[in-house]
Amino acid sequence: MAIAGLSPAIQPRSPQGVFSNEPATDFSDPENQRSMRRALDHVASHLGVEYSLIIGGKRLKTAERIRSINPARPAQVVGIHQKAGAAQVEPAMSTALRAYESWSRSSTEERVSLLLGAAAIIRERKFEFMAWIIYEVGKNWAEADADVGETIDFLEFYAREALRLAAATTPIQFPGERNELLYIPLGVGAVISPWNFPFAIMAGMTAAAIVAGNTVILKPSSDSPTIAARFVEVLEHSGLPDGVVNFCPGSGSSFGNAIVEHPKTRFIAFTGSKAVGLEIHVRAAQAQPGQIWIKRTILEMGGKNSILICSDANLDSAVEGVVFSAFGFSGQKCSACSRAIVEAEIYEVFLERLRERVAALSMGDPAANPDLGPVINQAAVDSILRFIEIGKKEGRLIAGGNAPGTADGGFFLEPTIFSETPPHGVIAQEEIFGPVLALTKVAGFEEGLRVANNTEYGLTGSVYTSDLARMAAARGAFHVGNLYFNRKCTGAIVGAHPFGGFNMSGTDSKAGGPDYLCLYTQAKSVAEKL
């Protein structure tokens, strides 16, 4: 399949080829730096545009609007969006149901071609999409690049996974029969996506749903609807039929809840906070009049992640891993390290090296590519500052703790570290979702593992050690969905690190892994007597 207007080198890859991850952009290359600055200038000239709802391919207006702003410069409007409400629930659902009748019967190859075409367009316009992410959610260049790269990876990976599922067979052929195992789509699903990975998670959930033959009502976060709107445009340019993805940014309390509760909604894919995820789970579990199925929830809800540093660790590597895990994108990742658990023997030297490294971090407008940009909005600033005040009572503040003012009024917070944090204290237990790190001293490895497991979450974790016996023990006992050794606990790679957590971190959905598309399908066994 050729996409008109794309350079020959960027045409869709063959789905039969081996999947490979999109390479990271080398920003030490002056040409890549120039390309990034050109993209920032280009996107800056398109900020503030008004976008429509898209339901069944039709552009619609509503009475209320959502204003997406640049968190580094809140006066700068990134996009103006319609606000879907109760009046849009039935039109969106009826449209998605109609589209499902034909889309669910389309060939796997047609759906795969759509994803690969979208991946090719995004690859061609990679710097442009980075720029949108930088302006709308405040990621620096490397974080924005990783977001776009992961988006491409999800599209490419799920396309190939769809082909694999379509070729699935039963484990045996029973004598005298022809046996088949068919993975068929579920129906209409709600995709409720977050702002912190506004491109990759939004596109990944949507792509998995539609390549499996479902149709989608997409409700992106109100903090990042512009990137979602741009993605839907890419799908349209790739040949998406009307009604397969319906773009409906809106209020969670009205439009979102109504879609979750609707008797025709078959599944809900959600990434966000524990509180909202549990509310969705409860609402989805209540059967509505006319509902003929148990709704499926695919939930990723956050974490309180620990890095355990053992006395035999490479301290330079451990410091770098903790800093990047805790303060990358200002700690606004469900996988972020918010607790460093350090053996007493090396605690003081680790603490001093950590403080020195954090003091060297730069902070500013992400368009200028500092280490840290802003947090997402004023509500996040207020919430994080409340946790910092609690931390001052529970531990010892050794770095940061302030919200420095800027001329542009950006939502900035200093990278903040507390030492001597009690393992069961508030800042050691509750998800803060900001640049706050709590350090806890432990007597040894076994105590460190107990502390690492003492939260209600179970998403990511890391252990720095050269001891193979400790690695073996942690493999079995460190209860997280994604465990790493001698590296940071963020930055899961599609295909290599299927992503999803235990306990209150969600339903262990394992995005980017071989099981993920099964969540958007149901298996139908067919036997024919010969």
161 flagged as catalytic = no
Distance between CA atoms of 378 and 364, rounded to whole angstroms?
A: 16
Give backbone dihedrals phi and psi of 53, rounded to 5 degrees, phi first.
-65, 150
Instruction: Give the other-Cβ count within 10 Å of 23's Cβ.
Output: 8
Distance between CA atoms of 292 and 306, rounded to whole angstroms?
A: 42
Distance between CA atoms of 399 and 358, rounded to whole angstroms?
A: 8
Query: Which tokens go with 253?
Result: 């309390």
Taking alpha carbons only, the member of 190, 169, 185, 403 closest to residue 277 is 190
User: Among 248, 334, 337, 489, which one carries the catalytic annotation?
Assistant: 334
300 flagged as catalytic = yes
Cβ-contact 260, 190 below 8 angstroms: yes
Distance linking the first and last C-alpha atoms of the chain:
39
Would the CA dihedral through 148, 150, 153, 159 be positive or negative? negative
Distance between CA atoms of 347 and 357, rounded to whole angstroms?
A: 15
Cβ-contact 283, 263 below 8 angstroms: no
H/E stretch holding 273 = none
Cβ-contact 262, 288 below 8 angstroms: yes
User: Among 136, 143, 300, 343, which one carries the catalytic annotation?
Assistant: 300
Burial 353-365 (b: 16+ CB within 10 A, else e): bbeebbeebebbb
Catalytic residues: 300, 334
